[in-house]
Structure 1
Amino acid sequence: MNKRKMIQIATPKMGEEEWQALREPIETGWLTQGPKVAAFENEFARYHQVKHALATTSCTTALHLALLAVGVKTGDAVIVPSFTWVATANAVEYCGGIPVFCDIDPYTYNIDPASARTKIEESIKKGLKVTAIIPVHLFGLYADMEAILELAGEYNLKVVEDAACASGALYHGKTAGTLGDVGCFSFHPRKVLVTGEGGMCTTNDDELAIRINCLRNHGASVSEEQRHHGNAPYLLPEFNVLGYNYRMTDLQGALGLIQLKRLEGFISERDYWARYYDQKLAGLEWLRIPARPEGCKVSWQAYVCMVDEKKAPLSRNRLMEYLQENGISTRPGTQAVHMLGYYQDKYNLRDEDYPIAKDVYEHSIALPLHNCMQAEDYKYIISILRRL
């Protein structure tokens, strides 16, 4: 067993400025959603070139709110890529909808528009109402939105972008979360921009923004901050719809403001080391490095490769074990949701139903790539891989 310090798969970059940012909410006593969240929302909207940004407790709750806001109801079908974090499909279930899985592109790991089209047509033939599609910008790489938007227009679908991994990502100059009806982001510690937990909905649609704002705050007609600063803060708001408590705290908002200022630097640093990986790993014929489609700026939430077990000295799982033994933490890319017990049991799915998602789930490996790593960490990882 190598005795060097473990290189973690992800570690958030926090410092003195984040520490100091927490002082004001603590000293003022405004800990729930308030002025810091509002400031974070405004700056996030400005950075992502979108009219509205609405903070939430997580990307999962952002997806739930987005799907409700665009009109997903009980029994509606929503197209979801099979290779994604389980929350993408779970959010459809929360609405009473039916997640209809489609396969992915084997190189980008993102939704395959051709498979999505097939699943839309199959669903319509079954008598299902297909309401929305959720392209996931996996690992910080924008999905093929031109094809998705064309598909959505043809079948009159709402588009909810799962941009959990994609703060700062670009698609032909357009920022993540701005091409669909609603975009949903995550600020979990494995992401580039971190507030602990936390999420964000973005939209250019005024009506959708009003709905999301109401739904995240118990269904209240006005927010706590609006009421507090209004003429009659002692009067409670009206509650005319069933809502949820999906509000971000001002502690998280304060962190988000600082992290957002650092985002471009974080992405640039990750891109530098992703290119280093590209260069140094190119000679390993058994390891396929991530795709870089033209016109896309990747925000590099993770650096995910594919292991060709026909050529590799070790299986993917044994490789992860070997790296762990040598002080390098890794993970599979993410989940093939159709292979999870809940979805297999409920929808009578088999592992083989989505063969590309299955293959990527079983053979992908995420290598450490984050803003707390040093040059020696990357060089060490390369040396351990090349030792094989």
Structure 2
Amino acid sequence: MIKRNIPIGLPSMGIEEWEACRGPIESGWITQGPKVKEFETNFAKRHQVKHAFAVSNCTTALHLALVACGVEPGDEVIVPAFTWVSTANAVKYCHATPVFVDIDINTFNIDINKIAEKITAKTKAIIPVHLFGLCADTEEIRKRFPQLMIVEDGACAAGSALNGKPAGGLGDVGCFSFHPRKSVTTGEGGMLTTDNDEIAVRLDRLRNHGASISEEQRHHGPKPYILSAFEMVGYNYRMTDIQGAIGVVQLGKLDLFIDERQKWAEYYAEELKDIAWLKTPEVPKGYKHGWQSYVTYIDESISPLKRNDIMELLQQKGISTRPGTHAVHMLDVYAKMYGIKPEDFPEAFKADQYSMSIPMHNKMVKEDFEYIVEALKSIQ
């Protein structure tokens, strides 16, 4: 077996993205402008929503979404215990309280049956996370808890869907990431989506210092020398036109990327099914998985090695792995802030300790997947 070097994720970019940058650079319009607008228009169309607003990253998207949904100091927001720290951090940015809920270990998403016990008179919103590209069951959340604003954390879920409806239009606001480990990337960057016209106006203004019109609108208007009105305190969370130009190209490849990942997800599932200690991802009926990551679960009660030892062994063979993500309630900052113990959310604890993401990206070739499968099968 020839040792390979397979990263956990790698963006699929080339000459088209390179050439796309020329327009903004040559025009001199580099900040948020026409290319960002084109990216937003295309993203909204692909995800079947009325409005899309590009921002600097998914964390700022989450922050703006919560503010636009009316989350204020003293409010509570439901957050799954197993997610990237940004989900909880965005709640803290609003001086609100993240209230953690355990997950369903079979999907890694929030356990809907454990939400009701965490709702109080202070609960304003919920952030279902479409973890690793599998949508949380937002339809059921809406049905059971119609009083809550739903902010989708779709950082991993561009192109994902639930019962034919794309992520981003399942709640009140959707939030996406274009980090290099995502299916499509702009380096850094994020997107907000909504069908709510009032929320859309707030999002558009909040991302641009609170200005009533964008700089591009002012610049091309009849009196570009007149500064915009400011009727709210906003933020500078804009995306650059260079990123927008790259995003237009990348978005055009999204479905091809997902289809290719789906093919290899099926390959992994078939080839790894006989490894008793390794559980591969489940995709419930009616869900379209975006496969941002391929996250397995190791049963250490029957595995020949512990999870971390398996990850080390694979690393020695040139195969990068990672835990799926972390249990936020176990991170020092939140554990100390709220006096939470690891066992308070047992399924999130297990996911933190025993999940393992193996390489899944569009730069991989057939031999890479075969090498990974052979390496896993050889662990005894």
TM class by smaller structure: over 0.9
Which sections of structure 1, spanning at least 5 residues, go unmatched? none
1:339 aligns with 2:339: no
Q: What is residue 34 of structure 1 aligned with on the other side?
A: 33
Instruction: Name the structure 2 match of 1:133.
Output: 126
Cα separation, 2, equivalents of 1:179 and 1:271: 22
Find the counterpart in structure 2 of residue 115 from structure 1.
Answer: 114
Question: Which of 259, 262, 278 matches 2:253?
Answer: 262
Identity of aligned residues (%): 57
Cα distance in 1 for partners of 2:126, 2:288 equals 23
* Whole-angstrom distance in 2 between the partners of 1:34 and 1:350: 47
CA–CA distance in 2 between the matches of 1:61 and 1:213? 13
Moved over 2 A (4+): 2-5
| 1:142 pairs with 2:141 | no
8 Å Cα contact 2:4/2:317 also seen in 1: no
Q: 1:238 deviation in Å?
A: 1.2
**Please, what TM-score do these two structures have when normalized by structure 2?**
0.99
Asked whether the 8 Å contact 1:152–1:159 carries over to 2, the reply is no
Once the two structures are TM-superposed, the CA of residue 4 in structure 1 deviates from its matched residue by: 3.2
Q: Matched residues in 1 for 2:187 and 2:264: separation? A: 24
- Residue pair 1:72, 1:95 contacting (<8 A) in 2 also: yes
Q: Among residues 214, 217, 220, which one is paired with 1:226 in the alignment?
A: 217
2-structure distance, mates of 1:172, 1:203: 18
**Counterpart in the other structure of 2:72:** 73
Instruction: Read off the aligned partner of 2:342 and give its amino acid letter.
Output: D
Task: Please give the per-residue CA displacement for 1:326-376, whole angstroms capped at 9, x wherever unaligned.
Answer: 000000000100000111111111111100000011000000000000000
SS of aligned partner of 1:53 = strand
For residues 185-200 of structure 1, the aligned pairs below 5 Å read 185-200=176-191
| Cα offset, 1:3, TM superposition | 7.3
Equivalent of residue 309 in structure 1, options 286, 294, 300: 300
SS at match of 1:180: coil
* Matches for 1:131-280 after TM superposition, within 5 Å: 131-153=124-146, 156-280=147-271
Aligned to 2:104: 105
Query: Alignment partner of 1:11: what SS?
Result: coil
Match of 2:12 in 1: 13
Offset, 1:152: 2.4
Q: Hey, what does 1:281 align to over in structure 2? A: 272
Shift of 1:119: 1.0
Q: What is the rounded CA distance, in whole Å, between the counterparts of 1:358 and 1:367 in structure 2?
A: 20
2:353 alignment counterpart:
362
**Does the 8 A contact of 1:36 with 1:250 survive in 2?**
yes
Give the residue type in structure 1 aligned to 2:209.
Answer: H
Deviation at 1:319, TM superposition (A): 0.5
Question: Per the alignment, in what secondary structure is the counterpart of residue 356 of structure 1?
Answer: helix
Q: Aligned residue pairs: how many? A: 379
CA RMSD of aligned residues (A): 0.9
The residue that corresponds to 1:56 in the other structure is 55
Is 1:90 equivalent to 2:89 in the alignment?
A: yes
TM-score, normalisation: structure 1 = 0.97
**Aligned 8 A contact 1:133 1:152 in 2:** no
Give how far 1:177 is off: 0.8
Instruction: Measure, in 2, the Cα distance between the counterparts of 1:164 and 1:375.
Output: 27
Alpha-carbon separation, structure 1, partners of 2:285 and 2:138:
13
Quote the offset at 1:228 in angstroms: 0.7
* Aligned mates of 1:31, 1:244 — CA distance in 2: 19
Q: For residues 359 and 183 of structure 2, what CA distance do their matches in structure 1 show?
A: 13
Partner in structure 2 of residue 387 of structure 1:
378
Residues 63 and 184 of structure 1 are in contact (CA less than 8 Å); yes or no, is this contact kept in structure 2? yes
Is the 1:80–1:88 contact (alpha carbons within 8 Å) kept by the matching residues of 2?
yes
The SS at the match of 1:202 is strand
Looking at structure 1, the residues matched to 348 and 292 of structure 2 have their Cα atoms a distance apart, in angstroms, of 19
**Is 1:324 aligned to residue 315 of structure 2?**
yes
State how far apart, in whole Å, the 2-side matches of 1:148 and 1:335 are: 23
Q: Report if aligned partners of 2:47, 2:166 keep a CA contact under 8 Å in 1.
A: yes
Give the superposition deviation at 1:144: 1.2
CA distance in structure 2 between the aligned counterparts of 1:254 and 1:146, rounded to whole angstroms: 34
Counterpart of 1:249, as a letter, is T
Structure 1 Cα separation of the partners of residues 209 and 229 of structure 2: 10
Instruction: Give 3-state SS (helix, strand or coil) of 2:326's partner.
Output: coil
Match of 2:366? 375
Give the secondary structure class of the aligned counterpart of 2:115.
helix
CA deviation string 1:156-193 (max 9, x = no partner):
11000000000000100000010100000000001001
Query: How far, CA to CA, are the matches of 2:82 and 2:223 in structure 1?
Result: 49
Q: Distance in 2 between matches of 1:177 and 1:151?
A: 19
